[in-house]
């Protein structure tokens, strides 16, 4: 029989299969049969796999007919006939088609080593069987190199070459090939070429008594290696493969002598049963029995605590969810088992990203390395014990320093504060270990998703790339990336920038306004490094990883719409775009607003009021202007306060840390950690100016935020003010006097309301209720300390009526709010005074 050829390689995708007839004869095994001209590949291992392979299949098997009349045959040495002394008459012995099973199949691509998916190990095996060099040389050399083979290998009968049936089959095949569509023309060419070459081979085989498949293979290989053939094979057949092939060719020539023993070895190898490769990790890698990423840290802790007594260790993987169901909710005991929701399979196909050059660590570019200042002074040390294990209270951890042998007394096994070392170890593992993969998102381009769970604050992946100076960054922005939509620039230490256009996978992590990760700068062996850490919630398998870019756009042109789809989405990436230069400042907009209100007041009263300069209008206008001025003064004060706060913040954090270290109190340390973490959060940027500008921008944002705090008590509407003013006018109150500087500084009742963010009508009502229960009614003129204090307004106009009255829903005759009100943070000044007038209205004094 045609022994199973060395074609385990045939799980590869191939372009063509060429089936060789082996004629049945006394010298051959009985099962040798012929193939029909077209057929599915026979049941050789190779072809089975070929059927299953991904690539284009050749349903048609080309049968090779050896033609005696080829020039090569004529040139063959006279010794050839000796190779087939027992050749029977092929015509009389033509085998039945039903016995085609054992026909040997040769795959040109595989034999030639040009099949692109052929696993290397098989190629290597195969090439040992292949003869190389020019045909004549091969033919001459072959008998000498394979003397033993002839003793037991089936040989080709020259009579076969002349078999008319086979010739006919070959002709039919060739005709069929010609009829095929143009897309297959190239393949047909290959076959023709193979046929032509092979006919020569057959002749040569017959003439030189070589027989056997090695020579056939070598010729077929030659066919496939022919430049013409190569041009028609898949373009994906890489140059590297060809290089490898040629190397192997050279090796093979040397190895021909050992062919027999190697073949034996190969056969032995094929006989070995295939062993299944089991994945040792998979769906649940990274998950821990005691951690459920859907719960908060506190809930997880509580769960762990409650479990300590009733943990059921009987149930094996997979598991935790079901175990939870069983343990925590007895009603579910009889539920059908459901697979956990986070069963996960890595993407079958790796996403290919054009232009992404992977770097696994930072690389300095240009001047950057010279300018890089190593901040050796900035050191940290921890004094943890093995029991602490460098946990939450570890000083290095709090300061975002990685522990190592120089700054930590614990060994690597005992210490839990070596995230980058952990990452390095993980990177050596498999895909699950590595834990992240690139995926395509709907509307944000590529993204990154978790292939495993991550615990809160666990390191996920380092953000590394090219470290460049700001000048280089600007140059790249203007020249290299000017047409790009995605940027991979991140502000880093020493005013440098990490450009991860060439960088780690972290560059694909998208922005979200409600992120599940944080990008934090750590110091590792004295060097700053940036990495993505899980947020406080942890990460569940399959989740897309995101962090807040704090994007600082290069220009308004670069402002990008945010598609994070979260509830608190800001609409754009990072902070809201800066106002254009020609837009009015905060102060001027306040004044403009006040003017508009005044104009509104006058407009709305037009018609009902005859005199344009009536005292009432003057009073209202005055009040509005006062308010505007106060707002201005307030914003100025706020700005100063914010700046002071920012300065005090760092000092406080440092002293808190010291105190915490002294006390060893983990709670305060944790708070410190949060402070540091937030201060180390970085900004995704492509900024033109220096980082200080960014800080200023942030401070300004904060101030703006303070001035127009969303929780502030709503201001009385214009209509309301008008009503109040009219009521006051009816009661004969004098028009407001001109405000003094002092009055401007001390807030009027109106402005006082503005800065009472926590007072709501409801809170006032409840405060009043409480008060009426606690305090007996007092005369309305009472000025004792329990009365609500109002801004000191010695020179303030007596006629200013509190807008609070109506807003707060207090009725005439109500007592002032008790002290409890102050505790609500109403911002009531204790130095201010107010009195009721004869008609029960609160007026400032």
Ligand X SMILES: C[S@@+](CC[C@H](N)C(=O)[O-])C[C@H]1O[C@@H](n2cnc3c(N)ncnc32)[C@H](O)[C@@H]1O
Positions that interact with ligand X (CB under 6 A): 444-447, 485-488, 507-508, 510-512, 560, 562-564, 573
Whole-number minimum distance, CB 514 to ligand X, in Å? 11
For residues 291 and 551, which CB has a smaller minimum distance to ligand X in the complex?
Answer: 551
Whole-number minimum distance, CB 197 to ligand X, in Å? 49
Q: What is the 3-state secondary structure (H, E, C) of 600-652?
A: HHHHHHECCECCCCCHHHHHHHHHHHHHHHHHHHHHHHHHHHHHHHHHHHHHH
Task: Render 296-318 in DSSP notation, one character per residue.
Answer: -HHHHHHHHHHHHHH------SS
For residues 188 and 510, which CB has a smaller minimum distance to ligand X in the complex?
Answer: 510
What is the rounded CA–CA span in Å between residue 577 and residue 760?
32
Residue at shortest CB range from ligand X:
445
Whole-number minimum distance, CB 578 to ligand X, in Å? 18
Whole-number minimum distance, CB 474 to ligand X, in Å? 17
Quick one: DSSP state of residue 54? S
What is the rounded CA–CA span in Å between residue 168 and residue 91?
12
Residues in the chain: 845
Whole-number minimum distance, CB 426 to ligand X, in Å? 22
CA nearest neighbour of 783 among 836, 820, 717: 836
Structure tokens at 442: 């709907």
Whole-number minimum distance, CB 469 to ligand X, in Å? 20
For residues 280 and 354, which CB has a smaller minimum distance to ligand X in the complex?
Answer: 354
Whole-number minimum distance, CB 294 to ligand X, in Å? 23
Residue burial 180-216, b: 16+ Cβ < 10 Å; e: rest: eeeebeebbebbbbbbebbbbbbbbbbbbbbbbbbbb
Whole-number minimum distance, CB 360 to ligand X, in Å? 18
Three-class DSSP category at 18 = strand
What is the rounded CA–CA span in Å between residue 127 and residue 605?
101
CA nearest neighbour of 63 among 16, 127, 8: 16
For residues 304 and 563, which CB has a smaller minimum distance to ligand X in the complex?
Answer: 563
What is the rounded CA–CA span in Å between residue 450 and residue 286?
11
For residues 563 and 731, which CB has a smaller minimum distance to ligand X in the complex?
Answer: 563
For residues 544 and 789, which CB has a smaller minimum distance to ligand X in the complex?
Answer: 544
Whole-number minimum distance, CB 248 to ligand X, in Å? 39
CA nearest neighbour of 508 among 448, 465, 427: 448
For residues 510 and 780, which CB has a smaller minimum distance to ligand X in the complex?
Answer: 510
For residues 54 and 354, which CB has a smaller minimum distance to ligand X in the complex?
Answer: 354
For residues 573 and 733, which CB has a smaller minimum distance to ligand X in the complex?
Answer: 573
Residue burial 319-357, b: 16+ Cβ < 10 Å; e: rest: ebebbbbebeeeeeeeeeeeebebebeeeeeeeeeeebe
For residues 447 and 818, which CB has a smaller minimum distance to ligand X in the complex?
Answer: 447
Whether residue 489 contacts residue 497, with contact meaning beta carbons closer than 8 Å, is answered with yes
Whether residue 545 contacts residue 449, with contact meaning beta carbons closer than 8 Å, is answered with yes
* Other residues' Cβ atoms within 10 Å of the Cβ of residue 421: 16
640: left (phi > 0), else alpha (psi -120 to 50), else beta? alpha
Whole-number minimum distance, CB 570 to ligand X, in Å? 10
For residues 468 and 562, which CB has a smaller minimum distance to ligand X in the complex?
Answer: 562
Spell out the residues 6+ positions from residue 70 whose beta carbon is closer than 8 angstroms to its own: 196, 199, 200, 203
Residue 401: beta bridge partners?
Answer: 523
Quick one: DSSP state of residue 524? E
What is the rounded CA–CA span in Å between residue 757 and residue 734?
31
Q: DSSP alpha helices (H): ranges in 395-520?
A: 395-398, 419-427, 431-434, 470-475
**Helix 615-663 crosses helix 586-605 at what angle (to 10 degrees)?**
150
Whole-number minimum distance, CB 538 to ligand X, in Å? 21
For residues 447 and 736, which CB has a smaller minimum distance to ligand X in the complex?
Answer: 447
Give the strand order in the sheet containing 517-524.
Answer: 459-463, 527-534, 517-524
CA nearest neighbour of 558 among 579, 583, 580, 577: 577
Whole-number minimum distance, CB 421 to ligand X, in Å? 26
Whole-number minimum distance, CB 489 to ligand X, in Å? 9
For residues 122 and 488, which CB has a smaller minimum distance to ligand X in the complex?
Answer: 488
Whole-number minimum distance, CB 509 to ligand X, in Å? 6
For residues 77 and 445, which CB has a smaller minimum distance to ligand X in the complex?
Answer: 445
Structure tokens at 47: 């072809």
For residues 563 and 697, which CB has a smaller minimum distance to ligand X in the complex?
Answer: 563
CA dihedral (696, 397, 545, 469) in degrees, to 10, reads 50
For residues 563 and 680, which CB has a smaller minimum distance to ligand X in the complex?
Answer: 563
* Other residues' Cβ atoms within 10 Å of the Cβ of residue 31: 15
Radius of gyration of the chain (CA): 43
Three-class DSSP category at 108 = helix
Whether residue 504 contacts residue 358, with contact meaning beta carbons closer than 8 Å, is answered with yes
**Helix 615-663 crosses helix 666-680 at what angle (to 10 degrees)?**
120
* Other residues' Cβ atoms within 10 Å of the Cβ of residue 829: 16
Whole-number minimum distance, CB 443 to ligand X, in Å? 7
Whole-number minimum distance, CB 571 to ligand X, in Å? 10
For residues 327 and 560, which CB has a smaller minimum distance to ligand X in the complex?
Answer: 560
Whole-number minimum distance, CB 518 to ligand X, in Å? 15
For residues 510 and 756, which CB has a smaller minimum distance to ligand X in the complex?
Answer: 510
Whole-number minimum distance, CB 445 to ligand X, in Å? 3
254 burial type by CB count under 10 A (0-12 exposed, 13-18 middle, 19+ buried): exposed
């Amino acid at each position: 029989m045609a022994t199973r050829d060395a074609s385990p390689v045939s799980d590869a995708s191939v372009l063509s299969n060429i089936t060789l007839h082996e004629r049945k004869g006394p010298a051959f095994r009985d099962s040798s049969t012929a193939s029909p001209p077209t057929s599915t590949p026979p049941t050789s291992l190779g072809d089975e796999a070929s059927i299953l392979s991904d690539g284009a299949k050749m349903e048609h098997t080309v049968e090779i007919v050896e033609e005696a009349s080829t020039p090569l045959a004529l040139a063959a040495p006279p010794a050839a006939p000796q190779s087939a002394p027992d050749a029977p008459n092929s015509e009389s012995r033509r085998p039945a088609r039903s016995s085609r099973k054992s026909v040997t199949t040769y795959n040109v691509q595989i034999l030639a080593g040009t099949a692109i998916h052929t696993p290397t190990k098989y190629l290597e095996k195969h090439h040992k069987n292949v003869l190389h060099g020019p045909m004549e040389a091969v033919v001459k050399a072959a008998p000498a190199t394979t003397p033993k083979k002839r003793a037991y290998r089936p040989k080709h009968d020259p009579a076969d070459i002349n078999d008319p049936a086979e010739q006919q089959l070959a002709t039919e095949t060739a005709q069929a090939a010609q009829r095929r569509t143009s897309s297959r023309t190239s393949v047909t060419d290959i076959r023709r070429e193979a046929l032509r070459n092979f006919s020569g081979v057959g002749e040569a085989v017959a003439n030189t008594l070589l027989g056997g498949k090695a020579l056939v293979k070598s010729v077929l290989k030659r066919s496939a290696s022919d430049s013409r053939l190569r041009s028609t094979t898949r373009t994906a057949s890489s140059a590297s493969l060809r290089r490898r092939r040629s190397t192997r060719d050279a090796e093979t020539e040397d190895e021909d002598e050992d062919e027999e023993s190697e073949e034996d070895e190969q056969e032995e190898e094929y006989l070995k049963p295939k062993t299944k490769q089991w994945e040792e990790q998979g769906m649940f890698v990274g998950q821990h029995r005691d951690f459920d990423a859907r719960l908060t840290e506190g809930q997880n802790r509580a769960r762990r605590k409650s479990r300590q007594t009733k943990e059921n260790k009987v149930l094996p993987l997979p598991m935790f969810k079901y175990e939870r169901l069983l343990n925590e909710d007895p009603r579910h005991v009889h539920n059908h088992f459901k697979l956990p929701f986070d069963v996960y399979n890595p993407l079958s196909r790796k996403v290919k990203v054009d232009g992404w050059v992977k770097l696994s660590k930072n690389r300095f570019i240009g001047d950057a390395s010279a300018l890089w200042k190593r901040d050796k002074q900035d050191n940290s040390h921890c004094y943890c014990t093995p029991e602490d294990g460098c946990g939450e209270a570890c000083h290095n951890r709090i300061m975002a320093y990685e522990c190592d042998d120089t700054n930590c007394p614990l060994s690597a096994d005992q210490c839990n504060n070596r995230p980058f070392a952990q990452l390095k170890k993980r990177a050596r593992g498999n895909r699950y270990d590595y834990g992240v993969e690139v995926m395509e998102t709907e509307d944000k381009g590529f993204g990154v998703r978790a292939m495993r769970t991550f615990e809160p604050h666990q390191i996920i992946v380092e953000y590394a790339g090219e470290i460049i100076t700001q000048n280089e960054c600007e140059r790249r922005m203007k020249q290299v990336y000017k047409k790009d939509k995605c940027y991979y620039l991140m502000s880093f230490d020493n005013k440098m920038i990490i450009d991860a256009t060439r960088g780690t996978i972290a560059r694909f992590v998208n922005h979200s306004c409600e992120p599940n990760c944080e990008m934090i700068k750590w110091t590792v062996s004295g060097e700053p490094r940036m990495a993505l850490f899980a947020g406080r919630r942890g990460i569940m398998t399959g989740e897309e990883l995101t962090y807040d870019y704090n994007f600082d756009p290069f220009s308004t042109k670069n402002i990008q719409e945010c598609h994070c789809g979260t509830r608190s989405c800001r609409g754009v990436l990072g902070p809201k775009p800066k106002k254009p230069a020609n837009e009015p400042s905060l102060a001027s907009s306040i004044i403009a607003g006040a003017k508009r209100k005044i104009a509104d007041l006058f407009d709305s009263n037009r018609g009902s009021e005859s005199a344009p300069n009536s005292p009432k209008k003057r009073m209202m206008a005055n009040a509005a202007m006062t308010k505007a001025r106060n707002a201005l003064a307030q914003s100025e004060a706020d700005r100063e306060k914010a700046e002071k706060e920012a300065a005090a913040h760092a000092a406080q954090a440092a002293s808190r840390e010291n105190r915490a270290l002294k006390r060893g109190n983990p709670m305060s340390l944790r708070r410190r950690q949060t402070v540091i973490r937030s201060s180390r959060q970085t900004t995704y940027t492509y900024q033109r100016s220096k980082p200080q500008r960014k800080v200023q921008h942030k401070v300004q944002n904060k101030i703006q935020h303070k001035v127009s705090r969303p929780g502030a008590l709503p201001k009385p509407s214009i209509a309301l003010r008008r009503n109040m003013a009219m009521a006051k006018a009816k009661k004969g109150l004098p028009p407001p006097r001109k405000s003094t500087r002092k009055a401007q500084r001390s807030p009027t009742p109106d402005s006082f309301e503005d800065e009472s963010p926590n007072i709501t009508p409801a809170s006032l009502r409840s405060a009043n209720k409480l008060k009426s229960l606690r305090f007996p009614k007092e005369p309305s003129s009472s000025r004792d300390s329990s009365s609500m204090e109002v801004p000191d307004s010695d020179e303030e106009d007596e006629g200013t009526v509190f807008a609070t009255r109506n807003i707060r829903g207090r009725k005439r005759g109500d007592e002032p709010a008790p002290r409890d009100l102050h505790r609500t943070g109403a911002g009531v000044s204790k130095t201010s005074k107010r009195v009721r007038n004869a008609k029960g209205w609160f007026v400032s004094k």
